[in-house]
């Protein structure tokens, strides 16, 4: 693959959590991965496999023990905290696994979305309309003026997706964004992610345990005990 096309790339990425008793835990072990701009990738694997660790490393929220992460051409492993904050605010959308960690609890749903829009190259009226449209699309049309902290876990999860897309990111990194949703609502969230890809070429990296979600994306990478393997989709969409 042409390196310039890569939206997300890891080289020999390893992450070890030190243990106070001296038994270190290798959560990710020499992961190499290259995701093209506009690709929609699922990260699947059992609980504890290292999926969230990988996602937080891609988002520059954790520093790896060794190896490199490049996102939209930038080496996130070598960036300052300030540069990482700017990169996340302008180019990345991040949905963390715990819904409440993605929202400002005392701000309303609308304010959360509008805050995420602050660096987009759009006028005020367009932003306002887009914020309401995003909230309607995730089924929060009647909760726009409610503080995010008063929303349920599933509602916060949907708000988190709206917030992550509001900044029109080049890359969306989402950790189990449908885990608290019923199948129909989850399918609506996946449609929204795919429509961002369709409209703006957003690269999607989605951790999921849900086959309905992974089957809707281009390819799935399996993670087992910190190691990455590619699962080839078969013609009927099921992993081989
Ligand atoms: N902050 C931490 N300190 C120590 N160990 C950690 C820490 N975070 C994760 N781990 C360990 O690293 C391994 C991978 O965890 P991770 O959260 O990446 O798994 P996961 O694939 O996201 O699992 P799940 O599907 O349950 O969310 C697990 O064994 C976990 O116990
Ligand atoms: Mg996880």
- Phi, then psi, of 55 in degrees rounded to 5: -65, -40
Residue 64 has pLDDT above 70, yes or no: yes
Mutual orientation of helices 153-166 and 124-137 as an angle, nearest 10°? 150
Q: How confident is the model at residue 240 (pLDDT cuts 50, 70, 90)?
A: very low
Q: Look at residue 56 and give its three-state secondary structure.
A: helix
C-beta of 27 in contact with ligand 1 (< 6 A): yes
Residue 179 has pLDDT above 70, yes or no: yes
Positive/negative CA dihedral, 182, 161, 102, 140: negative
Domains of the chain: 3-231 (3.40.50.300)
List CB-based neighbours of ion ligand 2 within 5 Å. Answer: 51-52, 97
**pLDDT tens-digit readout, 18-48:** 987 878 999 999 999 999 999 999 999 999 9
- Give the C-alpha separation, 193 to 175, whole Å: 13
Distance from Cα 26 to the centre of ligand 2, integer Å: 15
The per-residue pLDDT for 186 is 96
- Give the C-alpha separation, 122 to 53, whole Å: 34
Distance from Cα 226 to the centre of ligand 1, integer Å: 10
**pLDDT tens-digit readout, 73-83:** 999 999 999 99
C-beta of 225 in contact with ligand 1 (< 6 A): no
C-beta of 50 in contact with ligand 1 (< 6 A): yes
């Amino acid at each position: 693959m042409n390196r310039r096309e890569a939206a997300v790339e890891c080289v020999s990425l390893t992450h070890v959590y030190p243990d106070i008793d001296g038994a270190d835990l290798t959560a990710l072990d020499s992961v190499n991965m290259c995701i093209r701009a506009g690709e929609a990738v699922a990260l699947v694997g059992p609980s504890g496999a290292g999926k969230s660790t990988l996602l937080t490393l891609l988002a520059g929220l954790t520093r790896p023990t060794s190896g490199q992460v490049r996102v939209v051409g930038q080496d996130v492993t070598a960036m300052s905290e300030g540069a990482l904050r700017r990169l996340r605010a302008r180019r990345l959308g991040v949905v963390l696994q715990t819904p409440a960690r993605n929202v400002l609890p005392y701000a309303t749903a609308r304010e959360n979305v509008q805050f995420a829009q602050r660096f987009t190259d759009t006028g005020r009226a367009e932003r306002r309309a887009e914020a309401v449209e995003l909230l309607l699309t995730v089924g929060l049309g009647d909760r726009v003026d409610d503080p995010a902290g008063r929303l349920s876990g599933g509602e916060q999860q949907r708000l988190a997706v709206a917030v992550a897309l509001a900044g029109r990111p080049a890359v969306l990194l989402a950790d189990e964004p449908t885990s608290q949703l019923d199948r129909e609502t989850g399918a609506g969230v996946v449609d929204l992610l795919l429509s961002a890809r369709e409209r703006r070429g957003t690269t999607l990296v989605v951790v999921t345990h849900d086959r309905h979600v992974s089957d809707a994306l281009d390819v799935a990478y399996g993670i087992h005990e910190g190691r990455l393997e590619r699962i080839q989709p078969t013609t009927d969409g099921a992993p081989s």
